[in-house]
Structure 1
Amino acid sequence: MEQAHIKLVDRLYKELLSGSLGIFAGAGFSQGAGYVNWKELLRPIAVDLDLDVDEETDLVALAQYHFTKHGENRNRLNHQLVEAFSKDAEPTENHRILARLPIATYWTTNYDRLIEKSLKDAHKVVDVKYCLDHLPITKYRRDAVVFKMHGDVEHPNDAVLTRDDCERYHLEMAPFIDALKGDLISKTLLFIGFSFTDPNLDYILSRVRVLYEKNRKQSECILRRVHRGNGESQERFEYRKRKQEFFERELVRYGLIVTHVNEYEEITDILRALESRYRRQSVFISGAAYDYGPFTAQEGELFVFELAKDLSRRDKRILSGFGLGVGSAVVAGVIEATVKAGHALNDDRLVVRPFPQAGPGEMALDELWSAYRADMLKRAGTAIFVFGDKLIDGEVVPSSGMREEFNLALKNGVFPIPVGRTGAMAKELWNEVIKRIDDGKMKVSPEIRELFEQLGDDARTLDEIRISILKLVALI
């Protein structure tokens, strides 16, 4: 990843943790899902006007020409919008990554519903606002609000399409402008998939710049570098490069930091890196112990307690399924660390999800447990596996649930840390990780390799093992 991309991830991560990161999505954000941009949306309209859409730069004016030509009847424009954005489409990976992150504010000029769908798929309560009547109403316990400042595909007659719509926007939709001004002043918005040719956005950004020129919040913008097209002359290419340079200076004047990508796929890499870094703050502790192996129950529980406490003191968010003999120690460790530090005990500190012990519904109990495990592992960046046995028909056997959680961790890109010293299933998983490292399937530094070795060393005390785990978590 380019150094500029790493720096962007650093800045976005800081804003994400502070709750100040928002998204502003343009048409390019939906193109990966198969939807059209403005030019393709209006291509049939241009044909009807005997114009070439590829020669036009003011697409809002093009829509206005069609509106005026047909006696200010926008039926054809509305039909074109509905036809273009009503087809079924699935959110892209970029949509899904952002939906999984704790981002509460979305702005978009898009008419489609991909942002809302991706948030709902992530089990979030979404408050969508595309008209003035929506602004004073707040959906109960919402996780995210989506401002669709140009309208919604299901209400084409109210959508912003023509120059008339744009010219009246600051009068008829002033509360939307005020809301966006507030977010531009107080939040860092990541502008993504945007061409910055929207006249309303230019209007808003310019006024924010004038009002808060000396003390405004900077936002972020990702732009694709100009590439020389097939058959394009060097002179024409140099001209487009100069034009982009001037355009970027304007964005800086508006308070935006520009980060370049060579290809749009690099945007996904940036968002993945942001999610990975955020998830690394969440540690899933997987464990169950009917028999603590070479240790007493008191020694095993104290080890888990101290480990959870130390992780929490390092501002790690702890996730736990409240496994037998382990769950109580995890909870107690986090609570003690939180209380002593004077913090509030909330979902930013601890998420405990005991497994249901009965399944009266349509799903079998093992299916419920699998879904439960998958949901928890998607929220973590690191998974620590300790002990791992259970009593079946009077016999102590390795935990199959821990094995499933390990497989889910690998599938979801969660970094696994099996503590072989604790025996049972954790020992089996530790042997597998060592083998994966030696086979090159899991690439780690020599320092991390050495720490993994220590986790399976039977000569080490549990206090020494705990210190090795903390070092590993810090390194990754």
Structure 2
Amino acid sequence: MTITKQRLIEKYVKALESNTAAIFAGAGLSCAAGFVNWKDLLNEAADDLQLNIDKEEHDLVGLAQHYINKKRNRSTLNAVIMDQFSKRAALTDNHKFLAKLPINTYWTTNYDSLIEKALEDQGRIVDIKSNQTHLPVSVANKDATVYKMHGDIRDIDKIILTRDDYERYNLTHPKFRDILEGDLLSKTFLFLGFSFTDPNISYILSRIRIVLEGNSRPHYCIFKEIDRNDYDNEDEFTYAKIKQQLHIEDLSRFSIETLLVQDYSEITEILEAIYKKYKRKTIFISGSAEEYTPFNRKTGQYFLHQLSKRLVEKDFKLVSGFGLGVGPLMINGVAEYINENKKSRLQNHLSILPFPQESSGNLKINDVWENNRLEMLSDCGIALFLFGNKVENKEGGDIVLGTGLKDEYDLAEKQGVLRIPIKATGYMAEKLSENHNKDIQQQFNEQNRKLYDEIDIYDVNAMDLASIDEFVEKIVTLVVEVKKNN
């Protein structure tokens, strides 16, 4: 069964949001980083055995076994593998996007260290499991676990390589099979660079299918569609296309839906789309308000309270720097939602990162503020800009524009965060709406551009709670639609 690109993105984002997403990476993921595939790796062995590698590509495990049988040991083949996998390889964009996603379970049959390196580059603590002795011990405060079910190049004598290794796998690695079986039952996997010819995976999927009798959890994989240019004649092309379609239909027995792409570069585009769509669940609130004109203090605070409450009701998470006159109202709105629904804790819906107001020691306030803004925006896909005013100095004085909103707008633009200044709240938010109108408009598709225009021109009665409620709903509707289909 095939799936569309948009549908796969939507389904996998939902798995991310429910913390049930997992990745299974095969050799194809590492090939893009510069490592050879198994066919190229065993080409020399095939020549030594006087076999044609093209005719053996569907039984490379058997080929490796034949070669070791002939040599009476695996040292020669180990040396070839060590030579290839010891080469320095650069992380691909695919690895980088996978490491940025909030996934805590990664499985791979690859021997290289690209996945764990990508995770570590993101500052994540990784627990690597490459043999049975690693399973009972866990790394403290880990962010992700990488299961290397066929071993690690750093322990080459124990890698799974030959038919004999596969036949003994249930004896040498029983817990790996048990854990993978459990993850396939409880998580939604995206298979990347994986052909499903691995005997271990076939065995586990078959067991799950039999036990659950067709009620398996949905999983997804991406294949490159058979291309006529890769074949010498029409008959070979037609044969390969039929084989691929039969393979796809067979995978559907295990609840694995397949997305066919024209080129491998589309995988990067898909992972980027998944990453951006997931981030749009988290909204950065940029705002400060010494006063709330055109609202009065009571109605301005009501607007902020209702806006934050309605956003978390729609399952968004809010992030803010606890701006003057804005942060406390956001907390109140989220707290009211939680008290009414008893669903979760405050920190699941709201992240506040206060900005220090005075220097001490070697602390440089401007550097701290910049780092705080970068940290907050790195997790967000949408930013709302509200009010933006402050007193001229600490001792009092005139109300002036809050330059922090402009700084955060510029930083959000650099980070690729979708920006929504709310013009009706006045001050810096109004200036941003007017000065950057063209850039803001270009962010939206046609449908959402109309929704934004309605907000931009909406004449809210800032003294009437019903009018404020209607205004809040317009903002929430736009945010929901942006997350869904922009």
CA drift at 1:195:
1.1
Higher mean displacement: 358-367 or 124-133: 358-367
Q: Structure 2 CA distance, aligned partners of 1:372 and 1:383?
A: 15
Q: Structure 2 CA distance, aligned partners of 1:29 and 1:275?
A: 18
Is residue 2:225 matched to residue 1:225? yes
Higher mean displacement: 193-202 or 274-283: 274-283
CA drift at 1:23:
1.3
Name the amino acid aligned to 1:256.
I
Judging changes above 3 Å, is the alpha-carbon distance between structure 1 residues 230 and 270 closer, same or farther for their aligned structure 2 residues? closer
CA drift at 1:27:
0.9
Higher mean displacement: 252-261 or 161-170: 252-261
SS at match of 1:189: strand
Q: Structure 2 CA distance, aligned partners of 1:20 and 1:226?
A: 31
Q: Structure 2 CA distance, aligned partners of 1:450 and 1:430?
A: 14
SS at match of 2:139: coil
Q: Structure 2 CA distance, aligned partners of 1:361 and 1:110?
A: 48
SS at match of 2:72: coil
Name the amino acid aligned to 2:477.
K
Q: Structure 2 CA distance, aligned partners of 1:312 and 1:10?
A: 20
Which residue is equivalent to 2:429?
426
CA drift at 1:129:
0.7
Name the amino acid aligned to 2:184.
L
Which residue is equivalent to 1:410?
413
CA drift at 1:177:
0.8
Q: Structure 2 CA distance, aligned partners of 1:91 and 1:359?
A: 39
Name the amino acid aligned to 1:469.
I
SS at match of 2:283: strand
Which residue is equivalent to 2:53?
53
Which residue is equivalent to 1:247?
247
Q: Structure 2 CA distance, aligned partners of 1:304 and 1:414?
A: 21
Task: List gaps (5 residues or longer) in structure 2.
Answer: none
CA drift at 1:474:
2.5
Q: CA RMSD in A?
A: 2.7
Name the amino acid aligned to 1:402.
L
- 1:128–1:147 Cα contact (<8 Å) kept: yes
Which residue is equivalent to 1:436?
439
Judging changes above 3 Å, is the alpha-carbon distance between structure 1 residues 135 and 470 closer, same or farther for their aligned structure 2 residues? same
SS at match of 1:466: helix
Which residue is equivalent to 2:234?
234
Higher mean displacement: 310-319 or 291-300: 291-300
Judging changes above 3 Å, is the alpha-carbon distance between structure 1 residues 62 and 350 closer, same or farther for their aligned structure 2 residues? same
SS at match of 1:318: strand
CA drift at 1:419:
1.2
Q: Structure 2 CA distance, aligned partners of 1:109 and 1:97?
A: 19
Q: Structure 1 CA distance, aligned partners of 2:475 and 2:443?
A: 18
Name the amino acid aligned to 1:434.
N
Which residue is equivalent to 2:271?
271
Q: Deviations over 1:184-210 (max 9, x none)?
A: 222222211111122222222223333
Judging changes above 3 Å, is the alpha-carbon distance between structure 1 residues 52 and 437 closer, same or farther for their aligned structure 2 residues? same
CA drift at 1:180:
1.0
Which residue is equivalent to 1:148?
148
- 1:23–1:107 Cα contact (<8 Å) kept: yes
Judging changes above 3 Å, is the alpha-carbon distance between structure 1 residues 150 and 459 closer, same or farther for their aligned structure 2 residues? closer
Which residue is equivalent to 1:28?
28
Judging changes above 3 Å, is the alpha-carbon distance between structure 1 residues 400 and 86 closer, same or farther for their aligned structure 2 residues? farther
Judging changes above 3 Å, is the alpha-carbon distance between structure 1 residues 347 and 268 closer, same or farther for their aligned structure 2 residues? farther
Count of matched residue positions in the alignment of Structure 1 and Structure 2: 472
Name the amino acid aligned to 2:64.
A
Q: Deviations over 1:200-222 (max 9, x none)?
A: 22222223333333432232222
- 2:422–2:455 Cα contact (<8 Å) kept: no
Provide the identity percentage.
42
TM-score by length of 1: 0.90
Which residue is equivalent to 2:102?
102
Q: Structure 2 CA distance, aligned partners of 1:65 and 1:469?
A: 66
SS at match of 2:372: helix
Judging changes above 3 Å, is the alpha-carbon distance between structure 1 residues 456 and 262 closer, same or farther for their aligned structure 2 residues? same
Q: Structure 1 CA distance, aligned partners of 2:240 and 2:271?
A: 28
Q: Deviations over 1:227-262 (max 9, x none)?
A: 112562001111111221222232122332222222
Q: Structure 2 CA distance, aligned partners of 1:174 and 1:384?
A: 51
SS at match of 1:154: helix
- 2:282–2:381 Cα contact (<8 Å) kept: yes
CA drift at 1:446:
5.7
Task: List gaps (5 residues or longer) in structure 1.
Answer: none
Q: Structure 1 CA distance, aligned partners of 2:119 and 2:111?
A: 16
CA drift at 1:84:
2.2
Which residue is equivalent to 1:69?
70
- 1:120–1:126 Cα contact (<8 Å) kept: yes
Q: Structure 1 CA distance, aligned partners of 2:112 and 2:213?
A: 34
**Aligned residue runs from structure 1 range 185-204, under 5 A:** 185-204=185-204
Which residue is equivalent to 2:166?
166
Which residue is equivalent to 1:452?
453
Q: Deviations over 1:83-118 (max 9, x none)?
A: 323333343222232323222221110112222122
**Aligned residue runs from structure 1 range 354-369, under 5 A:** 354-357=354-357, 364-369=364-369
Q: Deviations over 1:110-166 (max 9, x none)?
A: 112222122223333322111101112233332222111011121111111122211
Q: Structure 1 CA distance, aligned partners of 2:174 and 2:451?
A: 61
- 2:281–2:316 Cα contact (<8 Å) kept: yes
SS at match of 1:229: helix
Judging changes above 3 Å, is the alpha-carbon distance between structure 1 residues 224 and 351 closer, same or farther for their aligned structure 2 residues? same
Q: Structure 2 CA distance, aligned partners of 1:115 and 1:347?
A: 29
Is residue 2:134 matched to residue 1:112? no
Judging changes above 3 Å, is the alpha-carbon distance between structure 1 residues 341 and 35 closer, same or farther for their aligned structure 2 residues? same
Judging changes above 3 Å, is the alpha-carbon distance between structure 1 residues 194 and 450 closer, same or farther for their aligned structure 2 residues? closer
TM-score by length of 2: 0.88
SS at match of 2:62: helix
SS at match of 1:238: helix
- 1:312–1:338 Cα contact (<8 Å) kept: no
Name the amino acid aligned to 1:467.
E
Q: Structure 2 CA distance, aligned partners of 1:241 and 1:179?
A: 35
Which residue is equivalent to 2:286?
286
CA drift at 1:35:
2.2
SS at match of 1:61: helix
SS at match of 1:417: strand
SS at match of 2:147: strand
SS at match of 2:229: coil
- 2:322–2:353 Cα contact (<8 Å) kept: yes
Q: Structure 1 CA distance, aligned partners of 2:223 and 2:361?
A: 49
- 1:312–1:337 Cα contact (<8 Å) kept: yes
SS at match of 2:312: helix
